[in-house]
Amino acid sequence: MEPVKRSSDDSLVVPGTPENKLPRGPNPKDSPPNPSLMKALEAVLIAGRRGLLGPEAMAAAGGTPELNPGGSNGVAPPAVDPPGGLNPIPRLAGGGKKKKAVNEMRTSVITAVQQVMGAGRQQPPPKEIWICGNSVILASKKRAKSLPHGLQLGISVSRAYVYWHGIQAMKWEQLMPLLHEIYHLRSSPSLIIIHIGEDDLLPNDNLSLIISMKNDLGILKRAFPNATIVWSSLLPRRACKMDQNPEQMAKAQKHVNKKMVDFCNEIGVHFLSHNLITSDKANLFLPDVNDLSDAGADLFLADLKKVLRFYQVLG
């Protein structure tokens, strides 16, 4: 499978900061590659995906974590140590060069933060937050950039780095290759927020989509045992294709969300709902499309901030 190309607008921007002094994430050399992660992502890529992760890939990944019958209420359970002895997969072509460039740009930022905090205190390294998904993420990123809190959502760079990666009309099968690419460019994440699925939604049978989502989230929980995984619920569709019935699509969206909230509670993935974004509010969407307007993006950003406050990333 060909790696997903990064969009040209992925750089981290802090308002009022010259572009040549933009803050970057922590040095990936300080966080050696997680062998469990690499094995899990390798299993997905080898499987070929084809819209559904098969049992061969699950076996190669070591299976999904044990389910928690009591549920997690949206909170990730305590992290477990990944199994040892797993071989990392080869890096993407050119990955080493890109990573070296990022390392060089990040060093001065980290040094400056440490000096500000004072030599007498040990400052914990900044967390790494990834926000990935479809046009909803693109619209929210664009909106965040125009607001005072910026792409950092008001979070100090001494506390965390926020990395956005949105792809127009992104399908669920693109998620794992995208995370594979991001992992070679960034440090290990503390929190991953995922919003994808509206463009995969069918009016009737979405069983394959649900199975694919469950399998991939299970692999991510195993691959990132020390990170919080957030699954952002599917938003309603304001506009439907010619062959799609609006009532059927609304029913399908609610059905997938219901199945996923139950599953997320079982395995300890945080389910992020968007109760204020509804299809009857025309001002939340752009005309004749399903993209969020500025008003809709504001509500989505407010929901993201709730998660960041819950995990004490945003004060």
Of 91 and 244, the structure prediction assigns the larger pLDDT to 244
Query: What is the identity of the amino acid at 51?
Result: G
Give residue 80's Cα distance to chain centre.
21
Average pLDDT of the residues in 38-43:
64
| pLDDT tier at 52, thresholds 50, 70, 90 | very low
Q: How confident is the model at residue 122 (pLDDT cuts 50, 70, 90)?
A: confident
Helix (H, G, I), strand (E, B) or coil at 170: coil
> What contacts 288, CB < 8 A, 6 or more positions away?
239
Average pLDDT, rounded, for the chain: 75
The pLDDT assigned to 123 comes to: 80
Q: Taking a C-beta distance cutoff of 8 angstroms, is the pair 240, 193 a contact?
A: no
In this structure, of 25-39, 129-143, 290-304, the range with the lowest mean pLDDT score is 25-39
Closest by CA to 151, choosing from 11, 21, 18, is: 11
Domain presence at residue 46? yes
Q: Is residue 138 part of a domain?
A: yes
With respect to residue 262, please indicate whether it lies within any of the assigned structural domains: yes
The pair of structure tokens assigned to 278 is 């509804």
Pick from 270, 292, 274, 275: nearest CA to 283: 292
How many domains does the structure of the chain reveal?
A: 1
DSSP state of 292: B
pLDDT digits (tens, 9 = 90+) for 173-219: 999 999 999 999 999 999 999 999 999 999 989 999 999 999 999 99
Contact call for residues 271 and 231 (beta carbons, < 8 A):
yes
In 3D, which of 22, 19, 31, 29 has the Cα closest to residue 152?
Answer: 22
Q: Could you tell me if 180 and 213 are in contact, meaning their C-beta atoms sit under 8 angstroms apart?
A: no
> What integer is the mean pLDDT of 285-300?
91
Say if residues 38 and 86 touch (Cβ distance below 8 Å).
yes
Does residue 10 form part of some domain?
Answer: no
Q: Which one-letter DSSP state was computed for residue 221? A: H
Structure tokens at 38: 């690499």
Does any domain span residue 265? Answer: yes
What pLDDT does 245 receive?
83
pLDDT for res 96 = 43
Q: How confident is the model at residue 134 (pLDDT cuts 50, 70, 90)?
A: very high
The DSSP code sequence of 216-265 is HHHHHHHH-TTSEEEEEPPPPPSS--TT--HHHHHHHHHHHHHHHHHHHH
β-pair partners for 133: 166, 195
Residue 148 CA: distances (Å) to CA of 114, 145, 264: 25, 8, 33
For residue 60, pLDDT beyond 90: no
Question: 32: number of CA atoms within 13 Å, CB side?
Answer: 3
Q: Domain holding 42: CATH number?
A: 3.40.50.1110
Q: Give the E-state strand segments of the chain in sequence order.
A: 127-133, 160-166, 191-195, 228-232, 270-272
In a domain? residue 139? yes
Residue 195 lies in a domain: yes
What pTM does this model have?
Answer: 0.68
Q: Which of 313, 310, 312 is nearest to 74 (CA)?
A: 310
Structural domain including 219 reads 31-61+124-310
Segment 130-137 mean pLDDT: 97
- Residue 198 inside a domain? The answer is yes
Q: Encoding tokens for residue 241?
A: 């294709």
Contact 251, 259 (CB under 8 A): no
